[in-house]
Amino acid sequence: MSDRISCSMAEEMIPAYVGVGCTDKEKKLLEKHCSECPDCAGKLIRAKKLYANTDQGREEEPEADEEALSRKTEE
């Protein structure tokens, strides 16, 4: 098997890469593809940012609820 993958294969691997469900071999294939394909490299960067944001967003979610609650108690 060649160590080159197509753009559609790279796209399919990105979610696993930014998550945790990707093998070392897949990681290397995707990284190699991204080093030769700026298009997929951009998609990978965006996916990484998106993943980081959703991860943090989940932890800080209750903020809005607390605000609404304290406002209710004041009234």
The site for Zn ion (CB under 5 A) is made up of 7, 10, 37, 40
Number of H helices, E strands in the chain: 4, 0
Nearer to Zn ion, 10 or 14 (CB): 10
Least gap, CB of 38 to Zn ion (angstroms) = 8
Least gap, CB of 13 to Zn ion (angstroms) = 11
Nearer to Zn ion, 43 or 51 (CB): 43
- The DSSP result for 28-52, as a single string, is HHHHHHHHH-HHHHHHHHHHHHHHH
